[in-house]
Homo-oligomer: A and B are copies of this chain.
Amino acid sequence: MSGTSPGMDITTLSALAEPNRMNIVQLLRSGPLAVGEIADRLGLRQPQASKHLKVLSDSGIVEVRIDANRRIYTLRPEPFQAMDSWVQSFRHLMEERFDNLDNYLRELQNKDKP
């Protein structure tokens, strides 16, 4: 069962596949933030911010640190590492990424054999 790649975890992807949540993630790249801050900066109402953060939290993308009244949310590395290694398993498709010079040369060659 737990053998080879069932594929990327779906919940991570669907958590990210929503604009507000994607914005939250982008925002948190620069550091941990409290719910109020997040809501303010993204123009969200507090309850919606909390809901989206719950989804992100349930999917493991984000973790929370309790500070008195506030909850400080932070990005967790694991889901990104997982995405990274999943995407890397498609190297064979994206050969062009590995070496820019190589890529450039490949581009030139394509003009000869299209």
Contacts and interface: CB of A to CB of B under 8 A. Distances in A.
Nearest to A6: B26
A16 B11 CA distance: 10
A84 B51 CA distance: 28
B77 A84 contact: no
A10 B5 contact: no
Nearest to A93: B77
Contacts of A84: 84, 87-88, 94, 97
A34 interface: no
Interface residues of A, number: 33
A31 to B, nearest CB: 10
A25 B14 CA distance: 16
Interface in A75-102: 75-77, 80-81, 83-84, 87-90, 92-97
Given A77-B95, A83-B87, A84-B84, 9 more contacts: A8-B16, A10-B22, A29-B92, A77-B96, A77-B97, A80-B87, A81-B96, A84-B97, A87-B87
